[in-house]
Amino acid sequence: MPRGVASDRRRLLQLHAQLAQALRQDDWEAVIKVDQAIRELLQELATRPQLDDGVLEAKARLKKLHAQALLRCAQACERLWEQLLDYLDHAEARVAYQQVSQLGLEERG
End-to-end Cα distance, the chain = 88
Determine the Cα–Cα distance for residues 45 and 48; give it in Å rounded to an integer.
5
H or E stretch covering 38? helix 28-46
What is the pLDDT, as a whole number, of residue 98? 74
pLDDT tens sequence across 73-100: 999 999 989 988 887 777 776 776 677 7
pLDDT tens sequence across 17-36: 999 999 999 999 999 999 99
What is the pLDDT, as a whole number, of residue 75? 95
Domain membership flag for residue 86:
no
Domain membership flag for residue 108:
no
Determine the Cα–Cα distance for residues 19 and 24; give it in Å rounded to an integer.
9
Complete DSSP assignment for 44-88? HHHTSS---HHHHHHHHHHHHHHHHHHHHHHHHHHHHHHHHHHHH
Domain membership flag for residue 99:
no
Domain membership flag for residue 33:
yes
Domain membership flag for residue 71:
yes
| Mean pLDDT computed over 32-61 | 96
Domain that holds residue 49: 3-77
Please give the tally of structural domains in the chain.
1
Mean pLDDT of the chain: 88
Domain membership flag for residue 91:
no
Q: Report the CATH number at residue 32.
A: 1.20.58
